[in-house]
Each structure stands twice: as C-alpha cells, then as structure tokens.
C-alpha cells in the first residue's frame, strides 16, 4: 500500500474531503483516519486539529476510529427495506458477530447502515468498501463474505 | 441523424465514447449556444420554462438571469444524489455523461463562468471515474478547455467527491462542503447566484437540469416547452422502485399519471397499498394516488411535491410501522445538527417510531409525533427539518389504524415502562 504524500495536494481546505478519502483508502488497513494523520492534514492545510476533526466527523463515510478491513455499508432505506434489507442485516450481524459500527473479531468486517446508495432499481444493495453489490439475496451475501474471507487469508499467507 | 428528438434517454450509451455521442447528435446544443450571444442563451432557457430537477423546481433561466457580472463566476453541478428512491442522476452520469458536460459548458457560457465543479456524492466512486474519463475525452475534442471550438470561450470542469451526507444535497450546504467545511446550509438571501463559492456568484444546478439544457439549445425552446403541461415543461426522468416488476428510470413528459408510470415499470407486484412520491420528505399516499399527475403544480395542489421524481411503490405485504421507522431513522441520521428543533426533534421521532415498530410504543406517541413534526415545520432552519411532518402526517392519515394496531397489540408494555 502506497502511503499518502500530502505534497500531492494543494494547501487549500477545499481539498480536505479528497484528502480524507485518500488517507482512509490508502493509508490504513482499517478504513480510518488516525490522529497522527489528522495532525499532518491540519498542518498541511493550516487548520487546527479540531477544525479537521469537525469536518471529518460530519461525513458518514469517514471514521476516526479503526474499522474492519472491509466496511460493509448496507442500505436500509425504504426501497431496500421493503424488499428484504432487514433480513440481510440480521443475517450479517449473526454471521459476523457484529454489533452496529463495531469490528468483527477477526478484524475483517464492520457493518454500517446507510441511507440510500442511489441504486434502488437493484435493491437491496450494499457497498463493500468502494464496490457496490446489488440485487442481494442471503445466498449472494453469504458467498461474498466467504470470498472476502478467502481473499484475506491469501493475503496473509 | 436522429436529431429532432427532445429526449435524454436518446443519448444513453452502454459504452462511453465521445465520437458515438457526437454521432447521436451530441454537442449540437453547445455549437448553437456558442453562435449566440450570452443573453440569448439565457433567454432561450427562460423561454423553455425548464425548472430545476433537483426537487425545488426553480426556473433555471431565471436563476441564470440573476447572476451579476463578475470577474470570477462558478457553475456547480449538484450530483450529490442522496434522496432515497432516486437514481436518475446515476443513470445520466453512467449512460450519458457527455450530455451533462455539454450542459455545464453551456451554463458556463451563459453566465460568464470559466470554471465548473461537479460535486458527486462519495458513494459513487465508479461514476466519478467515468466522469473523469469523459472530461479527458471532451478536452481532447476541444469541447472543454481553452478557446472551445475556436469561439474564444474557455471553460473547464473539476470533479469533487463528497463524504456521505444527505443535507449536502441542499445547494448552500453543498457549497459549504465544496469549500471544505461541514455541510451546513446557510441562510438565503444572499442567494448563491450573488454570493456563493468564496463569495463569488455561483450557479448550482442539478445533474438532470443541466443535462436537458443541450436539448433546449439544439432543438429550440419551443420544441421543449410544448412537451409536458402548463407550468411544468419538457420531459422528466422518474425513478421507479419498490414492488414493481421492472424498477428503473423512465422518461416521460411532465404530468404523467402515477398509473401510467407504474404500468411502464411493469405493474405492481401483488396488490398496491401505498406510494411515496418525491423522496423520503414526500407524502405517502394510499392506492387512490394512481390518478395523480406528476408535475410541480399538480403535486403541490395534492399537498405534496414532485421532488426529485422518485416513486416508491409498496404492495399489500408492506409493514407501515416499518416504513415509519425507516423514514424517521433517516431524518435522525441525516440531520446536520446545526439547529436545535431538527437535531432534537428527529431523534425523538426516531425513538418513538422505533418503539412503535418494535411493538413497545405508547398510545400517546401518535399525537406527540405529530406535534413534534408541527414544531419542527415551524421552527427548523432549512427545508430538511421543516419537511419531516409531510411523510409523518400523510402516513398516519392513510395508515393510522395499522400503526395504532402495533401499539394496541402490546398494550401491556405501557404498564411496565
């Protein structure tokens, strides 16, 4: 994984969301922005750390606490709910031993509920990190989780 | 060349290729605009009576005409499509991104801007990539960049990704976010057209609005305005989801009936029970709504709003207490927290709705929820908090007995808590 070089970005606060995305995706295995990253970002943009935290904590996609290697964002808006998103939520919580916004024991997964991924014609939907997975069924979710576990196993070997 | 069709879906392509887009008649609008005077372009859009497709329905030409001359003016495309049940902007950006770029360039020419931003929601990373490729292609054909098509007009576009926030879909909140702040809406006036990004005049338009602009310039305002109904002209993209056989995006002239739209989407799976129109902040209607007409004025008369054109269809198996629960959770999670009535009210509503859906609600909740909604409508800072009462009251009006059933089944719980 390539660490993020802040010199890639201009010293202007309007790039802050872009910087957050890059740090979260590239600088950590745990999909979060650490306090040392916040310090570096603050220095680069000439903001205080609390200003950076202020922006960071406003947006749902960012986290200043470590999360799983795979962040599951399950949509539970109306269009997904009425075609079974709640069953998938219940299944995932049981299967991964997850409470909301907590990490699974193996450190691989965290589960979040989100409001609409803008793909209601393929409901129910979820995103795993940056990838959208549509037309969910329990079988499909099961297979996806299984293949991610295998993928993680291969990486560590 | 199929050129005389005022239709956005006409330009939809599976694979994005600028030459193929030009082959379909693309960039005729831009060429026509560059041959005109700026004020004539604004007038053309005014004459088309195009209204903003993001939800508010403000006349686009009027917005553009309100931009004062300035050294630095910006065009911002609102691609922060977060309204539950809405996926039309995704459809446009995935299937015909050049149409959007062309529309933005025309907007830039009309209001005297050199720079545009597309603020795309963080949940659409692959679409952001599609747009970036489209930008490169447009630059390579001199449809963007310096001295576009030899006209002397220069304009370029930058993509900005959001971080996940519903409220940022509001134009002033979007500008806050674009400048790298928390996505708080601000008080209008001053409107962004006077004082927007970095205090410069800024035009904020929705993806769909901008994507219809090239068609107006290519075919003329009259060809556009004769489609649709009085007060709501042109075609419109409707997002149909839920219990229908073929959910998807459908283009119809403004004023299409709910019945025709659902039929186009393959009809209801099972028996129709309820329809929510315009997104989560829109009313929830019963089966009587089939005859309703989907345009700005007709929807307003019916006590609702066309909103983004989202139609969520629910069949007889739908649990309405669950629908209440989902709606109220949405408001609680997405409230930006800037003003007290919304921050606190949405949490209380969420709490009560959750209890009702779980079978542990109290009899008093129904009235209390409606009162809370009323206070929020009167006192919230922005349309987000003001609109909570719309889905709440309409749901209780049409399905109040069902929701009450959830409370009465578990009456004994009241004694315990």
Interface test with B, best of A82, A131, A133 (most B CBs within 10 A): A82
Give which of B85, B132, B103, B124 is closest to B30, Cα–Cα: B103
* Cα pseudo-dihedral A87, A89, A90, A95, rounded to 10: 120
A83 shares a domain with A51: no
Show the 3-state SS of B246-272. CCEEEEEECCEEHHHHHHHCCCECCCE
The domains spanning B232-315 and B320-416 adopt the same CATH topology: no
Q: In this structure, is residue A79 part of a structural domain?
A: yes
A80 shares a domain with A40: no
Contact A20 B86 (CB under 8 A): no
A87 shares a domain with A48: no
A143: CATH:
3.40.30.10
CB B83 within 8 A of CB B55: yes
Residues in chain B closer than 8 A to A55 (CB atoms) = 180-182
- Ranges of each domain in chain B: 9-226, 232-315, 320-416
Q: Please tell me which residue of chain B has the smallest CA distance to A118.
A: B87
Q: Please tell me which residue of chain A has the smallest CA distance to B314.
A: A82
ipTM score of the complex? 0.95
Contact B280 A76 (CB under 8 A): no
Residue-wise pLDDT for A112-145, tens only, equals 999 999 999 999 999 999 999 999 999 999 999 9
CB B158 within 8 A of CB B115: yes
**Is residue B246 pLDDT above 70, yes or no?**
yes
A76 shares a domain with A147: yes
Distance CA(B55)–CA(B307), nearest Å, equals 4
Q: In this structure, is residue A75 part of a structural domain?
A: yes
Q: What is the DSSP string of B77-93?
A: EEE---STT--HHHHHH
Output DSSP code: residue B18: H
Strand partners, A75: A114
- What is the overall mean pLDDT for chain A? 93
A146 shares a domain with A84: yes
Q: Residue B165: which of A45, A60, A130 has the nearest Cβ?
A: A60
A52 shares a domain with A120: no
Contact B179 A13 (CB under 8 A): yes
Residue-wise pLDDT for A41-72, tens only, equals 999 999 999 999 999 999 999 999 999 999 99
> What does the block give as tokens for B39?
């004020």
Q: What CATH number has the domain spanning B9-226?
A: 3.40.50.11540
Predicted pLDDT at B1:
36
Contact A83 B243 (CB under 8 A): yes
Q: In this structure, is residue A129 part of a structural domain?
A: yes
Contact A15 B182 (CB under 8 A): no
Contact B182 A55 (CB under 8 A): yes
Give the domain-ending residue among A35, A58, A81. Answer: A58
Distance CA(B103)–CA(B233), nearest Å, equals 18
Predicted pLDDT at B57:
93
Residue-wise pLDDT for B5-51, tens only, equals 899 999 999 999 999 999 999 999 999 999 999 999 999 999 999 99
CATH fold, domain B320-416, is de novo design (two linked rop proteins) (1.20.1440)
Q: In this structure, is residue A1 part of a structural domain?
A: no
Distance CA(A62)–CA(A55), nearest Å, equals 10
Enclosing domain of residue A102: 70-156
Q: In this structure, is residue A103 part of a structural domain?
A: yes
Q: In this structure, is residue A34 part of a structural domain?
A: yes
A78 shares a domain with A24: no
Residue-wise pLDDT for B346-381, tens only, equals 999 999 999 999 988 998 999 999 999 999 999 999
Strand partners, B241: B312
Q: What CATH number has the domain spanning B232-315?
A: 3.10.20.600
């Amino acid at each position: 994984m390539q660490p993020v070089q802040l010199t890639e970005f201009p010293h202007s606060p309007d790039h802050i969301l872009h910087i957050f995305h890059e740090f979260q995706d590239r600088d950590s295995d745990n999909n979060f922005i650490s306090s040392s990253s916040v310090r570096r970002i603050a220095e680069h943009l000439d903001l205080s750390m609390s200003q950076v935290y202020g922006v960071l904590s406003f947006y749902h996609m960012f986290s200043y606490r470590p999360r799983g290697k795979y962040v599951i964002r399950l949509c539970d808006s109306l269009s997904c709910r009425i075609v079974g998103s709640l069953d998938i939520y219940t299944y995932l919580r049981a299967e991964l031993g997850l409470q909301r916004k907590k990490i699974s024991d193996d450190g691989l997964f965290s589960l979040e509920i989100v409001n609409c991924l803008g793909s209601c014609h393929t409901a129910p939907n979820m995103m795993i990190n940056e990838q959208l997975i549509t037309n969910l069924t329990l079988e499909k979710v099961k297979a996806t989780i299984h293949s991610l576990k295998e993928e993680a196993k291969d990486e560590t070997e | 060349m199929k050129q005389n069709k005022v239709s956005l879906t006409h330009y939809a392509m599976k694979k994005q290729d600028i030459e193929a887009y030009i082959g379909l008649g693309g960039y005729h609008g831009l060429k026509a605009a560059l041959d005109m005077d700026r004020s004539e372009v604004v007038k053309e859009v005014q004459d088309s009576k195009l209204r903003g497709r993001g939800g508010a329905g403000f006349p686009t030409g009027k917005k553009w005409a309100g931009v004062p001359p300035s050294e630095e003016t910006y065009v911002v495309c609102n691609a922060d499509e977060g309204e539950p049940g809405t996926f039309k902007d995704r459809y446009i950006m995935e299937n015909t991104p050049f149409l959007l770029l062309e529309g933005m360039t025309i907007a830039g020419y009309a209001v005297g801007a050199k720079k545009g931003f597309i603020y795309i929601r963080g949940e659409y990373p692959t679409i952001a990539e599609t747009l970036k490729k489209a930008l490169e292609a447009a630059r390579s054909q001199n449809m963007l960049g310096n001295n576009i098509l030899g006209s002397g007009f220069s304009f370029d576009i930058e993509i900005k990704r959001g971080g996940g926030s519903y409220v940022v879909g509001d134009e002033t909140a979007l500008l806050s976010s674009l400048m790298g702040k928390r996505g708080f809406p601000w008080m209008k006036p001053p409107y962004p057209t006077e004082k927007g990004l970095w205090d410069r005049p800024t035009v904020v338009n929705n993806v769909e609005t901008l994507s219809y602009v090239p068609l107006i310039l290519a075919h003329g305002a009259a060809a556009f305005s004769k489609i649709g109904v009085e007060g709501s002209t042109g075609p419109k993209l409707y997002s149909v989801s839920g219990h229908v056989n073929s959910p998807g995006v459908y283009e119809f002239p403004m004023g299409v009936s709910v019945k025709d739209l659902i039929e186009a989407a393959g009809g209801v799976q099972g028996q129709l029970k309820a329809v929510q129109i315009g997104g989560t902040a829109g009313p929830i209607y019963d089966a009587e709504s089939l005859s309703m007409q989907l345009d700005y004025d007709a929807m307003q008369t019916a006590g609702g709003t066309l909103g983004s054109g989202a139609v969520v269809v629910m069949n007889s198996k739908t649990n309405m207490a669950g629908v209440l629960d989902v709606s109220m959770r949405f408001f609680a999670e997405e409230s930006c927290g800037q003003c007290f009535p919304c921050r606190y009210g949405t949490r209380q509503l969420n709490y009560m709705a959750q209890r009702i859906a779980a079978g542990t609600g109290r009899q008093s909740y129904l009235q209390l929820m409606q009162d809370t909604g009323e206070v929020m409508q009167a006192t919230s800072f922005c349309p987000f908090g003001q609109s909570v009462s719309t889905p709440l009251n309409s749901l209780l009006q049409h399905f109040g007995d069902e929701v009450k059933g959830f409370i009465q089944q578990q009456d004994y719980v009241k004694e315990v808590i």
